[in-house]
Amino acid sequence: MLHLSIPIPTLPGRQEIDIEMKINGQKQQMRFRVEFYRWDDCKTYEENRIECIRTLVRDYGDDWMIYHIGLPTDEYVPLTFVRTSDWERQRQLIADALHSS
């Protein structure tokens, strides 16, 4: 899948990002969330940050999936989530395009 980088201002708290786009004339929409997780919230996995992230997002729900793990700092890690149904629709569009060519 191709990636397009769009700078998003860093604001505290959750950021809801809705992107509408046209690709080859076909309108599509993607929904994202960016959240900042503090390492201090992860007491049991202080050394293993991957396990920490898994613990922090364990109950996030099936409607969203991790799309990107941002550059962590000593204090926090930014996580970008994508709406699962939007991601599946994009994957299906790619599969359909590959099979029709």
Domain boundaries along the sequence of the chain: 15-100
State the pLDDT at residue 45: 61
Query: CA–CA separation, 14 vs 17, rounded Å?
Result: 10
Q: Is 81's pLDDT higher than 80?
A: yes
Say what the pLDDT of residue 46 is: 64
Name the amino acid, one letter, at 101: S
pTM: 0.79
Helix runs in the chain, H state only: 49-57, 84-100
- The string of pLDDT tens digits covering residues 18-33 is 999 887 787 888 999 9
pLDDT one-digit tens code per residue, 30-78: 999 999 888 888 877 667 888 888 888 888 889 999 999 989 998 888 9
